[in-house]
A and B are shown apart, each in its own frame.
Chain A
């Protein structure tokens, strides 16, 4: 399961960083929340201007492991952009998982964009090496990324320059 890319802070062009596989994060399961914060993951979330979350749909909802990982940070997310990419083996492309994640994003302080990406029947969308086979997705992905980058830049300016009071 992938958390997605994140955009490294840089002065100028957004820089995409490699995917974070949350299954590889050393988080315990005998506690939850910021008490189990992983320094490496926290540092990446702190540097990020935006998140692109790639989420499967498990039993009509998002994964418990994804929630467990996301809950390990908080201040690192405030006023940053997030876009969600749903993945499913069936026809709905993770739509339910995306809808269920939106209030979680809100509570974490993340700002949702209004574009989603849905990979339905995913077994036919990528080849064995992860290359995209269905080129019809490209237009949707392009709109998603443009909106995510715009929101990331705008919120970064706000975080650094616009005081609350």
Chain B
């Protein structure tokens, strides 16, 4: 079961609503197949804040 994120701003349980491919940009212009990962996007239903974290297993 996916662990919920608690909003760091107001303490409410956040809603997980998207998975997004993220291309790492640590080096300008250096992007390889190894630099892509999947990220979870969560939004707080109380204050609207967005948070993200790497998907489990990626």
Using a CB–CB cutoff of 8 Å, the interface residues on chain A facing chain B are 9, 31-35, 46-47, 49, 74-76, 78-79, 109, 156, 158-165
Contacts and interface: CB of A to CB of B under 8 A. Distances in A.
A162 B15 contact: yes
A9 B50 CA distance: 13
A90 to B, nearest CB: 33
B48 A156 contact: yes
Main secondary structure of the interface of B (DSSP, over half): strand
Q: Which of B16, B44, B48 has most A Cβ within 10 Å?
A: B48
Contacts of A9: 48
Contact of B51 (A32, A33, A47, A75): A75
Contacts, number: 61
B25 A159 contact: no
Given A159-B15, A159-B43, A47 B48 contact: yes
Contacts of B28: 31-33
Nearest to A42: B50
B22 to A, nearest CB: 7
Contact of B18 (A34, A49, A79, A156): A79
Nearest to B24: A33
A75 B41 contact: yes
A161 B39 CA distance: 19
Given A47-B48, A78-B50, A164 B22 contact: no
